[in-house]
Amino acid sequence: MGGVTSSAAYTLDDSTADLAGLVELVGRGEVAVLSGAGLSTESGIPDYRGPTGLARRADPMTYQRFVGGEEARRRYWARSHVGWSQMRRAQPNAGHRAVAELERRGLLAGIVTQNVDGLHQAAGARQVIELHGGLDRVVCLSCRERTPRAELDRRLREANPGWRATSDAINPDGDAVLTDEQVAGFQVVGCATCGGVLKPDVVFFGENVPKPRVDECFDIVGRARGLLVLGSSLAVRSGLRFVIRAAELGIPVAIVNQGTTRGDAHAELTLDAPLGPTLSRLAARLAAEQGE
């Protein structure tokens, strides 16, 4: 990494030399990106453990609870219906646009995101694997048909014409915090094709990421020349395992995040700084080096 001190800490206030290691790593090309909730905070979506995620404001829905009872599903869909109305208005920020620009320049091997907000794609990125799925789709647990979330949103509004609820506490998975009184009376709809139970096309707590998807992510990391982690504390193994795999293979790892991460010990470079400005500077430096 061009003399960059192993696991060094950097801040955005340092001189432009603080980006030298990132420029060198990404400039080689074939870099795998692993992104987390911290990349989307500048789009108004809070993270779990960074500066905007002081504490999760509600217990996450588990797969077991969701499939186990109608009342749990009512509570989930009421809260998610409110959360989705706010999540869908989020726009890509400078960090998402910078990652899409790096892909456009042919520097990335692929993007693995732990986020379910679709903002990488909205920014123009194409080679994106949504590790935990996407909130813009729903799946029927009976017939497995997948349909757009917008269609479900319309059906839920029609089924609940007099229902109104708002929340100023939205989690990264689109889950809004509502009171029991707000949830009461909310009508859930089933699959329009078979009447089965609908679930967001995301991986709930207690549910496994499909193995083929995990294998595809490992393949991207395994053939990469570097791994760039963006906005993830790597607190859960779902993302940490890719950092560990890269380190085992001798693939250099760089982490840009606000705060420490569980992967710092495996990284050759860590940069504690806001994602949007940092990635914008990275993209600008690489453009300058390419003579643009």
Q: Is the dihedral of CA 113, 176, 88, 50 positive or negative?
A: negative
d(CA 114, CA 133): 8
Residue numbers belonging to the annotated binding site: 114-117, 140, 143, 191, 194, 231-233, 257-259, 275
Question: What beta strand segments (E) does the chain contain?
Answer: 31-35, 108-113, 128-130, 133-140, 146-148, 198-202, 226-230, 253-256, 269-271
Are the C-beta atoms of residues 201 and 131 closer than 8 Å to each other? Answer: no
Residue 266 among the catalytic residues = no
Q: What are phi and psi of 198, to 5 degrees?
A: -95, 140
> What residue has token string 């643009």?
292
Residue numbers belonging to the annotated binding site for NAD(+): 114-117, 231-233, 257-259, 275
Q: Which H helix or E strand runs over 145?
A: none
Give the SS3 label for residue 208.
coil
Nearest Cα neighbor of 227 from 9, 35, 37 is: 35
Q: 107: left (phi > 0), else alpha (psi -120 to 50), else beta? A: alpha
Provide the terminal-to-terminal Cα distance of the chain, rounded to the nearest Å. Answer: 24
Residue numbers belonging to the annotated binding site for Zn(2+): 140, 143, 191, 194
Nearest Cα neighbor of 77 from 149, 162, 141 is: 149
Sheet with 128-130, side-by-side order of all strands: 128-130, 108-113, 31-35, 226-230, 253-256, 269-271
* Catalytic pick among 81, 96, 120, 132: 132
What amino acid positions are annotated as catalytic residues?
Answer: 132
